[in-house]
Amino acid sequence: MLDMIIRQARTLNEEVFDIGIKQGKICQIAKTIEESAQKEWTLLPNQYLSAGWIDDHVHCFEEMSLYYDYPDQIGVAKGVTTVIDAGTTGAENIHRFYEFAQAAKTNVFALVNISKWGIVEQDELADLSKIKGDLITKVLNEFPDFIVGLKARMSRTVIGENGITPLKLAKNIQKEHPGLPLMVHIGSAPPDLADILSCLEKGDVLTHCFNGKQNGILDRQSNTIKSFVFDAYGKGVAFDIGHGTDSFNFLVAEKAYDANLKAASISTDIYIRNRMKGPVYDLATTMEKLAVVGYSWQEIIEKVTLAPARQFQLKGKGAIEEEMDADFTIFEFKEAAKVLIDSNGNKRSIDRQIIPLKTIIGGQVYDIESD
């Protein structure tokens, strides 16, 4: 007997099928499953199902003071089955974060900050002595299923007088661990964006890709995307949204879209302040902002499921296939007006909202937090 059957699962492509679940895994997908199950869940005609949503840039270690939140408040309660904490902790304190992460209902993974204490202070890369490759190697060996990449924040308030050096050190550490993704935060110069992108390679992730800063991808004088940005995009650097308090601008995203430069993944850079007071609020709201830019809903769903799962090599995540984890988001569209605000106060209006209804993790169904 199956543990659970989800009946009448409908994707955005209007495919309809049943899903059989056993021991937290998808074990059967068929037009109709004849076998019985301990539990059954049937979608209504206006409801859709996707692989579980993944937010690949959050800050959710609750013991920190600058950037922190609670995994289940930004995850399972919001239709998000998996979060990746983007470098809140480093090699000296990721052990403590791991303990908290294991207690969450939401799947939690981490990028380890190249600074050994993570973001305890805003300028974690101003002191190069905090970058210890041997410590990073140690925790990568200790937590191979938890740590899925490296994180380096490369902006003026973080690096002090060190310029591009921290990024070069990050790349040296990465070379010792072939295949390990590196996420790089961009913001105000120094270092210059051109210098950052020249260091990045295929498979690296550039987050805050559509920020509205002078050092971002948009040339303010010509109102076009800087030419060297296309070089990085073309060689396979993955552009990640990383909305955040100060890192998503509608105009930049629209100009990039018009130039056929699209984000590879959609993430929030959420933490308690921008969740409670905005402009982020949750992953669904960030997804709506990409819809108003012009992305199709099929693209958007792919950029919060399969794309981040591939970028960070999350086994069993991101797709509805047999033997994959039974992680799903059930959602609907609501015809209702809503005003969206970016990080710089620019507004866009929509009349169709995406509403997550249920979060399913390992075959366990959870209710969505109501507004």
Q: Is residue 298 part of a domain?
A: yes
Say if residue 279 is in the same domain as residue 353. no
Pair (133, 7) in one structural domain:
no
**Which percentage of the chain shows pLDDT scores above 70?**
99
pLDDT tens for 236-246 read 999 999 999 99
3-class secondary structure, 4: strand
Query: Nearest Cα to 188, choosing from 247, 144, 118?
Result: 247
**Same domain for 265 and 360?**
no
Does 269 appear as a known binding residue? yes
Q: Is 213 annotated as a binding residue?
A: no
Considering the domain boundaries, does residue 317 fall inside one?
Answer: no
Q: Is 243 annotated as a binding residue?
A: no
Reported as a single tens digit per residue, the pLDDT across 1-53 is: 999 999 999 999 999 999 999 999 999 999 999 999 999 999 999 999 999 99
Q: Provide the pLDDT for residue 371.
A: 59
Question: N- to C-terminal Cα distance for the chain?
Answer: 37
Whether residue 38 lies inside any domain: the answer is yes
Please check if 95 is assigned to a binding site. no
Give me the residue label for tokens 């209007």: 14
pLDDT per residue as tens digits for the range 165-199: 999 999 999 999 999 999 999 999 999 999 999 99
How far is the C-alpha of 259 from the C-alpha of 66, rounded, in Å? 36
Instruction: Quote the pLDDT of residue 164.
Output: 98
Helix H or strand E encompassing 9: strand 2-10
The answer to whether residues 236 and 282 belong to one domain is yes
| Per-residue pLDDT, 26 | 98
Residue type, 338: K
Task: Residue 90: count other Cβ atoms within 10 Å of its Cβ.
Answer: 25
CATH number for the domain that contains residue 111: 3.20.20.140
Given this model, what pLDDT does residue 98 score?
98
The answer to whether 177 is a known ligand-binding residue is no
Give bridge partners of residue 109 from the DSSP assignment.
84
Check residue 369 and give its pLDDT.
74
Cα 300 → chain centroid? 12
| Domain termination residue (choose one: 291, 312, 333) | 312
What does the mean pLDDT of the chain come to?
A: 97
- Shared domain for 6 and 17, answered yes or no, is yes
Do residues 225 and 256 both lie within one domain?
A: yes
- Can you read off the two tokens belonging to residue 306? 């399969």
One domain, residues 258 and 361: no
CATH number reported for the structural domain that contains residue 340 in this entry: 2.30.40.10
Answer yes or no: do 130 and 221 share one domain: yes
Q: Which domain holds residue 304?
A: 53-312
Report how many domains make up the chain: 2
Q: What's the pTM value of the predicted model, to 2 decimals?
A: 0.98
- 185 carries a ligand binding annotation: yes
Q: Are residues 151 and 290 in the same domain?
A: yes
Given a contact cutoff of 8 angstroms between Cβ atoms, the answer to whether 337 and 353 are in contact is no
pLDDT digits (tens, 9 = 90+) for 312-371: 999 999 999 999 999 999 999 999 999 999 999 999 999 999 999 999 999 999 999 765
Do 238 and 276 have their domain in common? yes
Q: What share of the chain is helix, strand, coil (3-state, %, to 5)?
A: 25, 30, 45
